[in-house]
Amino acid sequence: MTIVRKNTLNPTLNPSVSPPENLAEKYMEAERMHDVLLLLQNLINSEEATVKLILDCLYDVGSVNLINQKLRLKPLNRVMKLIARMSKPGFKILALYWFKKNCPQLITNWLHTQVSFEKPQKTPEQVAIEVVKLEPYSIPETENLSQEIKNLRSQVKWLAGISIIAIAVLVVRATWLN
């Protein structure tokens, strides 16, 4: 049985001990990555409207895809999509808070892995993605969209009117009881 001892005094034989040049480089690297973190935080704070729009788009796509994946029943699917649309403002507040708190560090860590040029442990398999070229709406589709917008606007007017009437009835009822 042979016992092997590592030489802890000579840095060239022990990779865990770095020479002074490497320490200075590591310190400079940590300092620059901290600068990247601060710049990302500043970017997110100054471009808050853009971040909100990005989160808005991600919520629209993600909520529909999640509901379609989890709920196959059409009536339940429609109800959940309506609930998802109604919960969007609350989501935007929470998502913006989470984004400001976590994303600068996550992006900084990801960027650091990109510039460290270390070989990843496991390389993911490449997946072929077919890209379909989108063409502008044709004239009949545009007419359908404008008709759909008109229908939605009339529904909003009806809902607003019903809400106003319901609130008025509640106020009259509350004042009558007092």
The pLDDT profile of the chain, 178 residues, written as one tens digit per residue, is 444 444 444 444 455 555 778 898 999 999 999 999 999 999 999 999 999 999 999 999 999 998 999 888 888 888 888 888 888 888 889 999 999 999 999 999 999 999 988 776 776 677 777 777 766 656 666 677 788 888 888 888 888 888 888 888 888 887 877 7
Pair of tokens at residue 24:
């200075």
* Separation of alpha carbons 85 and 94, rounded Å: 15
CB 34 within 8 A of CB 105: no
* Tokens read off for 103: 């994303």
DSSP state of 57: H
Per DSSP, 8 falls in state S
Burial of 42 (0-12, 13-18, 19+ CB in 10 A): exposed
* Residue 174, token pair as written in the block: 């509350």
